[in-house]
Structure 1
Amino acid sequence: MGRVIAALLLLLIAWFQLKYWVGSGGVREVEALRARVEAQARENAELEQRNAVLQAEVEDLREGKAALEERARAELGLIKPGETFYRVIEPAPVDGRPQR
């Protein structure tokens, strides 16, 4: 009778150990979840930094004419009244080499 109880206890301990290491909510799953949380935290930090840059740009565009003017010139090719626009065109390459 004592051996049967000891064998049952050993089986029960082995089952608990198995469940602890590889079962649902076990060590492997917890480590995998920790890794996912860390990756998500890194991604969140990158997105927060990007949002801060975009927010600063929005504030600059709302408050400063210089930034608005720079953006209009760069993206839309606008010029001020009285300015002269010059376009520099590079010569077409001959034989795949640029001309000088």
Structure 2
Amino acid sequence: MRWLLIVLTGLLAVLQYQLWLGEGGFSKKLMLQRQVEQQRQENKELQLRNSILENEVANLKDGFDSIEERARKDLGMIKEGETFYMVVEKEDQ
């Protein structure tokens, strides 16, 4: 009878080890859940960025306003007949 109790206790210990620390156990499950949540957050950010880029592409294809805005902002271009003024702020010393 005593050896049966020892065997069953050993079996219980092995099963508990598999449950908590083994492959597919709770610790692995928690780690995977954290990774899934991080990936979902990254996917949301990338979807937002993609929708912004899609809107930009659509604007560039459809109208000249966004092209003009980009030329002014990124390339420093001005329209014919406009006067360019550069405002330089004085540095505090």
Q: In the alignment, does 2:63 pair up with 1:71? A: no
Partner deviation per Cα, 1:5-35 (whole Å, 9 max, x = no partner) = 2221221111101111111211011101111
User: Which secondary structure state, in structure 1, belongs to the residue aligned with residue 78 of structure 2?
Assistant: coil
Matched residue, 2:82: 83
State the distance in 1 between where 2:83 and 2:29 align. 66
What is the letter of the counterpart of residue 83 of structure 2? T
Runs of 4+ in 1 over 6 A off after TM superposition: none
- Alignment-derived partner of residue 16 in structure 2: 17
Structure 2, unaligned runs of 5 or more: none
| TM-score normalized with structure 2 length | 0.87
Percent of counterpart pairs with the same letter?
A: 44
**Residue 37 of structure 2 aligns with which residue?**
38
Structure 1: runs of 5 or more not aligned:
none
With over 3 angstroms needed to count, the CA separation of the structure-2 counterparts of 1:65 and 1:13, relative to structure 1, is same
What amino acid is aligned across from residue 26 of structure 1 in structure 2? Answer: G
Q: Take 2:8 and 2:86, find their aligned partners in 1: how far apart are those partners?
A: 88
Q: How large is the Cα RMSD of the aligned pairs? A: 1.7
Max Rg structure: 1
1:26 aligns with 2:28: no
Once residues 86 and 3 of structure 1 are traced to their aligned partners in structure 2, the CA distance between those partners, rounded to angstroms, is 96
- In 2, distance between residues paired with 1:84 and 1:38? 53
Q: Partner residue of 1:54? A: 53
Residues 76-85 or 11-20, more deviating:
76-85
TM-score under structure 1 length normalisation: 0.82
